[in-house]
Amino acid sequence: MRIPFIAGNWKMYKTVHEAVVFVKELKLVVKDVTGVEIVVAPPFTAVHAVAEAVRNTNVGVAAQNLFWEREGAFTGEVSPGMIKGAGAEYVIIGHSERRRLFGETDAIVNRKVIAAIGAGLTPIVCIGETLEERERNETLPVLDRQIKDSLDRLTGDQIAELVVAYEPVWAIGTGRTATAMQAGEAHAHIRQRLRQWFGADAADRCHVIYGGSVKPDNIRELVAEPDVDGALVGGASLEVRSFADIVTRSRPAAV
């Protein structure tokens, strides 16, 4: 019922030119791939050019952040409507780098999620514990707080359309992936909370994807976990070959 969802988070990499060269190659490589939702998240500067380059293909586009206001004197910020107008359909919200480096809290994430939905964007909401929290055995309470506060005031129907990315902070960019078992446990917990707080239909339809050092070599075992619906890929999404391999290996038939 939930088809795998694979998103490449390019972070602060790729000029407009590099981004367009990348997607022109990617769209050819994945043109016959069915049964996987494929998304790339370029920096703001390249969102429009990338969206034009992948128009009418099976590749979608995400922004990496937004501001919740519609317009105004907010120097340096980008509104949900501007992102939508640039051709993106998705937006990553609350990535751990934004939480750590730019002070984003669950309350801020919540405002952004609501604004994104209001503009017709699908949020990819990132949650996940730090190493210290895991070592203190606080993983599940931390996830509970992040789910409750980041998704506050959303309806079951809105949750159903959402993508939640579980990204243990200690696994991001470190080469240290959560084992399939660790990911599976966290995802099962997240799904159970979504069911409890937003209803069975919302929980069954919401995509819960994993992020943190996902590579072509480990994607199969991760998506073999019943509650892992795909991946948010950083480093390995910067090369067409490795990103396309992750996409094709995420299909159930490939497991």
User: Which residues form the catalytic set?
Assistant: 95, 167
By CB under 6 A, tell whether 41 contacts ligand PGA. Answer: no
Q: How far is the CB of 235 from ligand PGA (least distance, A)?
A: 3
Q: How many residues does the chain have?
A: 255
By CB under 6 A, tell whether 235 contacts ligand PGA. Answer: yes
For the chain, counts of helices (H) and of strands (E): 12, 8
By CB under 6 A, tell whether 250 contacts ligand PGA. Answer: no
Q: How far apart are CA 8 and CA 203, in angstroms?
A: 24
CB 230 within 8 A of CB 6: yes
Q: How far is the CB of 212 from ligand PGA (least distance, A)?
A: 5
Gyration radius of the chain's alpha carbons: 17
By CB under 6 A, tell whether 9 contacts ligand PGA. Answer: yes
Q: How far is the CB of 65 from ligand PGA (least distance, A)?
A: 13
- Which residue, among 69, 76, 59, 117, has the nearest Cα to 93 in the 3D structure? 117
Stretch that binds ligand PGA, among 140-148, 183-191, 228-236, 247-255 (CB under 6 A): 228-236
What is the pattern of x (binds ligand PGA, CB under 6 A) and - over residues 161-190? ------x----xx-----------------
Q: How far is the CB of 118 from ligand PGA (least distance, A)?
A: 25
Helix (H) or strand (E) holding 243: helix 240-249
Binder of ligand PGA out of 4, 87, 128, 234 (CB under 6 A): 234
By CB under 6 A, tell whether 219 contacts ligand PGA. Answer: no
CB-count exposure of residue 220 (10 Å: 0-12, 13-18, 19+): middle
Helix (H) or strand (E) holding 28: helix 16-29
By CB under 6 A, tell whether 64 contacts ligand PGA. Answer: no
- Among residues 9 and 110, whose Cβ is nearest to ligand PGA? 9
Q: How far apart are CA 235 and CA 67, in angstroms?
A: 25
220 contacts: CB under 8 Å, gap ≥ 6: 249, 250, 254, 255
Q: What is the contact surface with ligand PGA in residues (CB under 6 A)? A: 9, 167, 172-173, 211-214, 232-236
